[in-house]
Amino acid sequence: MNQIVLRSPYLIFLGSETNPTYAKTGAGVAHWRPEDCLGQFHLPGGSVDLGLPEMTIEQAAEAGAKSLLIGTAVVGGAISDSWLDALEAALRSGMDVVAGVHTRLSDIPRLAQASKETGSKLIDVRVPPKGLPVGNGKRRSGKRVLTVGTDCALGKKYTALALTDELREQGAKATFRASGQTGIIISGAGIPIDAVVSDFVSGAAEVLSPENEADHWDVIEGQGSLHHPGYAAVSVGLLLGSQPDAFVVCHEAGRKTIEGWPDYELPSIGEVIERAIELGRRTNPAIRPVGISVNTSTLSEEQARNYLDALEQEYDLPATDPIRFGIRAIAQKLVSEF
Amino acid sequence: MNQIVLRSPYLIFLGSETNPTYAKTGAGVAHWRPEDCLGQFHLPGGSVDLGLPEMTIEQAAEAGAKSLLIGTAVVGGAISDSWLDALEAALRSGMDVVAGVHTRLSDIPRLAQASKETGSKLIDVRVPPKGLPVGNGKRRSGKRVLTVGTDCALGKKYTALALTDELREQGAKATFRASGQTGIIISGAGIPIDAVVSDFVSGAAEVLSPENEADHWDVIEGQGSLHHPGYAAVSVGLLLGSQPDAFVVCHEAGRKTIEGWPDYELPSIGEVIERAIELGRRTNPAIRPVGISVNTSTLSEEQARNYLDALEQEYDLPATDPIRFGIRAIAQKLVSEF
């Protein structure tokens, strides 16, 4: 398969974190995959609460935990020395240790040694699997929907996760396909597309959403933006390899320029639609937009409704804020039109 | 600088190769950089002649050779065991050893050891330099021209090399910027763009053609094709990071489908022009085409002239086969219009 695959159920490691902002990964797993979460584990001083049962490493191992997920990230993305006793104990009690931070777990001699001795794995979800192919561009069975954005960091992952759940709610077969480290930890599988060598990006996207039953939806987490001066290559490779039948445009209300690139105007939703079709039809001539997903957190609820109504008028597509209003209309469109 | 940089002058290593087809890299260096080539070296049985003086490792070292370039590639891209005595001798006589084959030089224990003991370097030009940045998209001084293709392997490197020489011939300042392994060996510097992690492709292209004098041309070797189902991500990243003022479309007369992807029609030259402008204007709003470079080797000379005339009419751009007819008109257009 060539995807990263995590073994569930999980114990979520929260270190001594006190600020929920830095425990977003753990919170994401607890929110989206509660059935895979056995419990949470703190070091002394930690106070973030994901609402899961508190467990020691030993209790979790006994209860059948297969992986310890590092659910918190400190600034700089390092593994704190104060974590190592617990991480080693997890390995020695038969759990894999999974992280999406910048430091590689296998570069820490103590953990590498414990992994070697026990056979428990160190899984760095920022490291792509080996042996990814060049994209072959061959059509494959199954249906695919990709989230594309006007920019980075405005809800492509959330939209894809919410859409997957809503498709299932409506009786469709659907799998979330994670293309970034947080998504991989949340969903338990995937490929960190932006870490793949550029020659193999489309191929990695093909592996990420392999052929499937004709009525099955892969809901693929987008990366970057087709108009991004730094990351467009990632987005183009993911688009071509995903050969999506449908795409959802993700946007943040009020954002005017590319985040971190203030000289670059944000493309309009219409420009993103045009470019996604223009590029995407190379591998799927039938590609078309099915909805607009907007982060409206800067607007009042009334402003948000007016803004979304105006988008629906302008683009003749369902427009929603999935956090505020759900994503039912987009899922319905997929179910009824494909 | 973050580019790979080779130390000249060179001794070209030809192994025991008898077929000139497999010595293209060596032939390229001898053709484009004769002033950097001290000599050629064969193992017993080898017969390929690049027209350079035959030298032993010792003679070359004494004459001041700074690098031994492996100028031949066997099928599969391995380093033959029978080469190791010579490669080690080169390292021990103070030369770097440079290769662009698939096997990594540093994975061969004997060579790694000799390199460590002597300080002579093993340079794998397929391995990108470390520390490449994310593309910042900032405009930088100097002029840039990029070769873009309707497909892979139809003359983007040759066109860029020929255009660099012709620009200099006409009195302009020009530097060839190599984006692939053969180009790097030929020109002595560059970055293998297709081996760069996708998040950093645009940034690598920015490093490859750094800011320069306002009247200086960087002539950037293109990679892949904007319409390629496997490699478009590489091409898009290179285009955005290069922020070219001008581009030359490269094509092969008679090619109908993407080489190796028979289900994919080749884009027309017009489609390539349109897409290069559409994507490229994100980082350089003034981007425009300046010529068409065609490999006409399948046509008679008369057919080739007719074909090129027709292209000139259709696109209102100079069209040439640089091997048959030179590339003067395109260089003149760059010199006179920019």
Nearest CA in chain A to B205: A230
Whether residues A201 and A167 share a domain: the answer is yes
Say yes or no for a CB contact (<8 Å) between A196 and B196.
no
- Residue B137, in any domain of the structure: no
- Residue A133, in any domain of the structure: no
pLDDT value for B76:
67
For the stretch B144-166, pLDDT in tens is 999 999 999 999 999 999 999 99
Say yes or no for a CB contact (<8 Å) between A134 and B230.
yes
What distance in Å separates the CA atoms of residue B335 and residue B216, rounded to the nearest whole number?
A: 10
Tell me the shortest Cα–Cα distance from A232 to chain B, in angstroms: 7
Domain boundary among B69, B91, B124: B124
Whether residues B213 and B263 share a domain: the answer is yes
Q: What is the 3-state secondary structure (H, E, C) of A166-189?
A: HHHHCCCEEEEECCCHHHHHHHCE
Print the domain residue range for A225.
Answer: 143-337
- Residue A18, in any domain of the structure: yes
CATH of the domain at B296: 3.40.50.300
Contact A198, B234 (CB under 8 A): yes
- Residue A304, in any domain of the structure: yes
Range list of H helices, B209-298: 232-242, 269-280
- Interface residues of chain B, partner chain A, Cβ below 8 Å: 134-138, 193-199, 201-203, 227, 229-234, 236-237, 240, 261, 263-264, 275, 278-279, 282-283
**Residues with Cβ < 8 Å from A216, sequence gap 6 or more?**
A142, A143, A173, A174, A175
pLDDT value for A102:
82
Structural domain total, chain B: 2
Tell me the shortest Cα–Cα distance from A5 to chain B, in angstroms: 21
Helix axes A232-242, B201-208, angle to 10 degrees: 130
**Residues with Cβ < 8 Å from B203, sequence gap 6 or more?**
A230, B132, B133, B134, B135, B136, B241
What distance in Å separates the CA atoms of residue A45 and residue A17, rounded to the nearest whole number?
A: 7
pLDDT above 90 for A278: yes
Q: Using DSSP, state whether B133 is helix, strand or coil.
A: coil
What distance in Å separates the CA atoms of residue B56 and residue B13, rounded to the nearest whole number?
A: 10
Say yes or no for a CB contact (<8 Å) between B195 and A199.
yes
Neighbours of B292 (CB within 10 A): 24
CA distances to A33, A178, B206 from A216, in Å: 20, 16, 41
- Residue B70, in any domain of the structure: yes
- Burial of B79 (C-beta count, 10 Å sphere; 0-12/13-18/19+): buried
What distance in Å separates the CA atoms of residue B167 and residue B188, rounded to the nearest whole number?
A: 19
Contact B69, B32 (CB under 8 A): no
Contact A173, A145 (CB under 8 A): no
Supply the ipTM of this predicted assembly. 0.95
What distance in Å separates the CA atoms of residue A118 and residue A108, rounded to the nearest whole number?
A: 16
Whether residues A116 and A265 share a domain: the answer is no
- Residue A23, in any domain of the structure: yes
Q: Which of A86-95, A233-242, B30-39, B74-83 has the lowest mean pLDDT?
A: B74-83
| AA letter at A130 | K
What distance in Å separates the CA atoms of residue A9 and residue B285, rounded to the nearest whole number?
A: 52
Number of CB pairs, chain A paired with chain B, less than 8 A apart: 111
**Residues with Cβ < 8 Å from B128, sequence gap 6 or more?**
B4, B191, B192, B195, B196, B204
pLDDT value for B77:
74
Whether residues A210 and A147 share a domain: the answer is yes
pLDDT value for B164:
98
Domain boundary among A68, A91, A124: A124
Whether residues B24 and B168 share a domain: the answer is no
What distance in Å separates the CA atoms of residue B92 and residue A187, rounded to the nearest whole number?
A: 53
Measure the CA angle with vertex A199, ends A196 and A203; round to 5°.
Answer: 70
| pLDDT mean over A189-197 | 97
DSSP tag of A9: S
Whether residues A65 and A179 share a domain: the answer is no
Say yes or no for a CB contact (<8 Å) between B237 and A240.
no
What distance in Å separates the CA atoms of residue B256 and residue B241, rounded to the nearest whole number?
A: 29
pLDDT above 70 for B1: no
Whether residues B35 and B72 share a domain: the answer is yes
How sure is the predictor about B102, in pLDDT bands with cuts at 50, 70 and 90? Answer: confident
CATH of the domain at B14: 3.40.50.720
- Residue A29, in any domain of the structure: yes
User: Nearest CB to A137: which of B134, B137, B264?
Assistant: B264
Whether residues B221 and B157 share a domain: the answer is yes
pLDDT value for A101:
83
Q: Using DSSP, state whether A15 is helix, strand or coil.
A: coil
How sure is the predictor about B193, in pLDDT bands with cuts at 50, 70 and 90? Answer: very high
What distance in Å separates the CA atoms of residue A176 and residue A158, rounded to the nearest whole number?
A: 11
Based on its alpha-carbon atoms, the radius of gyration of chain B, rounded to whole angstroms, reads 20
**Of B37, B141, B9, B22, whose CA–CA distance to B75 is shortest?**
B22
B93-107: burial string, b at 16+ Cβ within 10 Å, e else:
bebbbbbbbeeebee
Nearest CA in chain A to B225: A199
Say yes or no for a CB contact (<8 Å) between A198 and B203.
no
- Residue B171, in any domain of the structure: yes
What distance in Å separates the CA atoms of residue B25 and residue B182, rounded to the nearest whole number?
A: 6
Q: Percent of chain A having pLDDT more than 90?
A: 95
**Of B160, B145, B110, B169, whose CA–CA distance to B218 is shortest?**
B145
- Interface residues of chain A, partner chain B, Cβ below 8 Å: 134-138, 193-199, 201-203, 227, 229-234, 236-237, 240, 261, 263-264, 275, 278-279, 282-283
Say yes or no for a CB contact (<8 Å) between A234 and B233.
yes
Whether residues A69 and A180 share a domain: the answer is no
For the stretch B106-115, pLDDT in tens is 999 999 999 9
In chain B, which residues have their Cβ closer than 8 Å to the Cβ of A275? 278
**Residues with Cβ < 8 Å from A276, sequence gap 6 or more?**
A148, A226, A239, A247, A249, A287, A289
Total-model pTM: 0.96
| pLDDT mean over B285-294 | 98
DSSP string, A223-280: -S-TT-TTTHHHHHHHHHHH--SEEEEEEETT--EETTEEEEEPPPHHHHHHHHHHHH
Whether residues A50 and A114 share a domain: the answer is yes
Whether residues A175 and A38 share a domain: the answer is no
Domain boundary among B124, B155, B171: B124
**Of A202, A154, A203, A181, whose CA–CA distance to A29 is shortest?**
A181
For the stretch A107-150, pLDDT in tens is 999 999 999 999 999 999 999 999 999 999 999 999 999 999 99
Say yes or no for a CB contact (<8 Å) between A233 and B231.
no
Selected residue of A139, A198, A234 to mutate for chain B interface (largest B Cβ count, 10 A): A198
Whether residues A158 and A40 share a domain: the answer is no
